Amino acid sequence: MNDTIKKQLDHRSIREFKNEPLPKETVDLLIEVARRTATSSALQASSIIIITDPHLKQKISEISKQEYISRIPLFLIFIVDQYRNNQIAVEQGVITEAASGMDGFFRSFTDAVLMAQNVVTAAESMNLGTLYIGSILNDTTTLSKLLNLPPLTFPVLGLAIGIPNQSPALKPRMSMELRTFENQYVRYENYLTKIEDYDEHLQTYYDLRDTNRRVDSFSTMVFKRMQNPNLRRSEILNVVATQGFDLKVKPKE
């Protein structure tokens, strides 16, 4: 097993970082890793916004309801970016709906996620801590305004990087028996029975966000999330449309 795989198997979310800025060479290297990430059709239709303004970090922390965001040493937001390529086409006299359609949006979205994961792997190989921040999507309208996002762009996820100032336990994951299939999807009659051991294992894990309380079982976590969906996030497609993307299902001709 090589060192890269060891780091990947040891991945854990870090929410407290030392109050030390990362050297410019380190940041530049991580951005270069992002640049070399695989991209659909070589169109490179995703971008990164590096958040350095303390006031902006505070605003985003309020959107995310995560106080620690205001103290992140290196905070990256990965975005769908069809704006740039659309402008390149327009400047050559090409007016098309390709950039605003569902295919273009999801190509860009996938590019952004792949880029983020590549940066995480690189950062952790340098013994840095990382944390994905999906809660930036709690209010995509406000976030888009804060980031001055033009049409045909959209925030995908945030990423915190820094020198770890905590050492959380490795969070349990369910067996890949329920997540890996050969040739076709496999359905089980009783999933609660299948995850009994995982439920018990997860409940013995203590989250550093509340060291005095064990986390819920997985089945309870699923129940709570399904019962209480985030209503603001359920309206995300409306914001996607406001940003100029057309994800409506087209009637068959």
Q: How many domains does the chain have?
A: 2
Residue 125 shares a structural domain with residue 199: no
SS3 (DSSP) at 214: strand
Residue 106 shares a structural domain with residue 218: no
Give the CATH number, domain containing residue 113.
Answer: 3.40.109.10
Stated pTM of the model: 0.93
On the CB side of 252, CA atoms within 13 Å amount to: 0
Residue 132 shares a structural domain with residue 192: no
* Domain ranges, residue 28: 3-168+237-242
Residue 140 shares a structural domain with residue 67: yes
Residue 221 has a pLDDT of 86
The rounded average pLDDT for each run of 10 residues, N- to C-terminus, in the chain (253 residues) is: 94 95 98 98 97 97 95 97 96 90 95 98 98 96 97 98 93 94 96 94 72 75 84 85 86 64
